[in-house]
Amino acid sequence: MKVLIADGVSQEAVDILADFECVKKDKLSAEELLEIIPEFDALIVRSASKVTAEVIAAAKNLKIIGRAGVGVDNIDVPAATARGIIVINSPGGNTIAATEHTFAMMMAMSRNIAIANETLQKGEWNRKQYTGVELKGKTLGVIGMGRIGSGVAKRALAFDMKVIGYDPFINEERAKDMGVKVGTFDEVIETADFITVHMPKTPETEGMINKDVMARMKKGVRLVNCARGGIIVEEDLRDAVLSGQVASAAIDVFTSEPIPADHPLLGVPGITVTPHLGASTVEAQIGVALDVAKGIKAALNGEPVMTAVNMAPVSQQVMNVIAPYFDLAERMGCAVRSLADGAINKVEVSYKGKLTEVNTKMISTAVIKGMLSAVMEKTVNYVNAPAIAKERNITITETKEEDVNRYENLITVTATTAKGEVNITGTLFAEKARIISINNNRVDLAPTNYILIAPHINRPGVIGQVGSIMGAANVNINGMQVGSTTEDKSLMILSLDNEVPADVLKLVVNMDGIFDAKVINFNVL
C-alpha cells in the first residue's frame, strides 16, 4: 500500500510506516494533489494541504486521511465519511506543549519578562518599573478543566497556588483527586487573582469574557488565553488593561490570524502576546506525527483506530433502523445538558419498542455527542464522544423494554447530577423529532432553535409578563405550551426564534412567581 505524505512530518513517523511505500511530496499545489491522489491508500497532511471534496472524489483507493495536529478544518470530513474514508487526528499530541506555554505566559506576564527584556536590549535599566508579583498564595481560576486546563492546574498547585476550576463536566470526585476546588463560572471570575481560559470556541463560549464579565473580576486580575481566539473580546480586554481593572494579560490566540499591525492588543503596556505558539515545540510536532503514523498503520492493517473523528462503520441493515434517530438523540443530549443543575455524572438512555431489537449503542453515543457538543468543540463525534465522557467520569448506561403502547419507539434520557435528575423523552412523528416529556411532564415540541423552560406559580399574569419581556427584547415567540405540574405550580415552555440574551433571561429568573428559567439552544449542534 502507498502512503502520501503531503506535508512534512518527522522521520520517526516515516519509520513507523516502513511496511508501506511512503512518498513525500511537500508543498503540493491543489492541482498536483488532485492529480496524484488516486494511486494512494493513505494521506498525511498538516494544515497546508486542503483535502477537498473534489480531492476525496478522485481518491479511488484512499482508506484513511491523517491530520498531524488537532483541527481538521482543512479536510472535508463529511465527504470522507460518505466515501467510507477514516479521518484521524492527534488530539493529545500537543497537550504538554500547550500546557507549558500557558504556564510560561503566566510567569512572563507576572514578572514583566517580555517588556523588561525589550527595554534592556535598548540599553534601559528599569528595575523598579518592572516589579512583578508572585504566584505563591494567589488563586488561579481555570475555565475549562480538560487535558490542558487540568495540566495547568497541576503545575499551579506545585507553585503553591490555590486553584478553583469551572467546567460543565467536572465533578467533585475528579476535582478532589486533582486537589482543585470546583466553582461556578461566576465564582471563578469573581474570586481568582489569575484566570486562564481553556474552553473550546463554540457559540456559547465566543465572547464569554467581555467587558461586563471583566468588570466583575477582582481589580488587578491577570488573564491568560492560550486556547482559542475570540473567547476573550479583544477590544474589551484592551480597555480593561488600560483602565487598570485588568493588571495584565497574556494572549497566544486571536480572533483572526495572523493579526494586523493595528490589532487592538498590540502596543498596550501590560499585554504580552505570542503568535499562536501553544503547540510549537519540537516534541509536539514529533508527537502529533507519531500519533497519526500509528493510526495510519493500524487502519491499513485492518485494526481499530482510536483517534478517528468520523463515524465508525456499522452494517447497512442496522444503520437503516437507527439512523433516523440520530438527530433526535443529539438534541435530547443537548437538552439534558442545558436543563441539568450542575455537573452531570451519569446518563441513562432507555429504549422502548422496536429499537430494543437492534444494537442502539450508536444512538446512545449520539445522545452523548449532543450533550458534549453543547459546550465543546464541534469535533465531538460518534467515535470520541464515549471516551470524552469517560475522561470526565460520566457513566453511560442503557436499558431496554419492548412494550411502548401507543408509540412505535421511545427514547428517554435521564441525566444525574449531585443535585438531582432531569429526564427527557422523545420519539419520531412522520420521521421528525419530537420531545413528548420533560421531567415527567407531558409536552409536544419540535427540538429546534431555542426553547425557554420555566416552572412558575400557577396564577394570572405570570405568562403575560414573560411574553412582554421577550417582546421588549425582540425575541419572537413562535409557540407556547403550559401545563400544571402540581396544584399551585405550572410549567411554561416557549419556542423561540431568537437567542435570549443573558440579561433578558436574568429578568425572567428574577420575576416574582418564576421558580427557574433555562434556555435550550439547539443551534449549537
Residue 487 C-alpha cell reads as: 396544584
Beta pairing partners, 479: 495
Which CATH superfamily does the domain covering 95-273 fall into?
NAD(P)-binding Rossmann-like Domain (3.40.50.720)
* pLDDT confidence of residue 200: 83
Q: What is the pLDDT of residue 162?
A: 97
Cell of 502: 443573558
Predicted pLDDT at 85: 86
Among 198, 222, 228, 331, which one carries the catalytic annotation? 228
Instruction: Please tell me the pTM assigned to this model.
Output: 0.71
pLDDT in tens, 60-114: 999 999 999 877 878 998 888 777 788 999 888 889 999 999 999 999 999 999 9
Asked about 228 being catalytic, the answer comes back as: yes
Exactly one of 111, 147, 263, 276 is catalytic; which is it?
Answer: 276
Cα-based distances in Å from 319 to 169, 306, 334, 364: 30, 21, 22, 14
In the chain, the amino acid numbered 479 is: G
User: Can 198 be counted among the known catalytic residues?
Assistant: no
CATH architecture observed for domain 312-447: 2-Layer Sandwich (3.30)
- CATH architecture entry for 449-525: 2-Layer Sandwich (3.30)
pLDDT tens track for 430-448:
889 999 999 988 899 999 9
- The catalytic position among 31, 257, 431, 487 is 257
Which of 398, 422, 420 shows the shortest CA–CA distance to 411? 398
Question: Which has the closest alpha carbon to 25: 48, 3, 6, 44?
Answer: 6
Which pLDDT value is given to residue 23?
95
Place of cell 429546534: 448
* Separation in Å, CA 300 to CA 3, 38, 68, 303, 347: 10, 16, 17, 7, 35
Rounded-to-integer distance, Cα 426 and Cα 435, Å? 4
Q: How many CB atoms lie within 10 A of CB 128?
A: 6
Instruction: State how far the Cα of 80 lies from the Cα of 361, in Å rounded to an integer.
Output: 23
Task: Report, at the CATH architecture level, how domain 2-91+283-300 is classified.
Answer: 3-Layer(aba) Sandwich (3.40)
Average pLDDT, the chain: 91
- pLDDT tens digits for range 385-401: 887 888 889 999 999 98
- Encode pLDDT of 141-150 as tens digits: 999 998 899 9
Domain 2-91+283-300 shares a fold with domain 95-273: yes
pLDDT tens digits, one per residue of 326-351: 999 999 999 999 999 989 999 999 99
Which residues share a beta bridge with 506? none
Give yes or no: 174 in active site.
Answer: no
Domain positions in the chain: 2-91+283-300, 95-273, 312-447, 449-525
Please give the DSSP secondary-structure letter assigned to residue 338.
H
CA–CA dist 79, 371 (Å, integer): 25
Can you tell me the mean pLDDT for 504-517?
A: 94
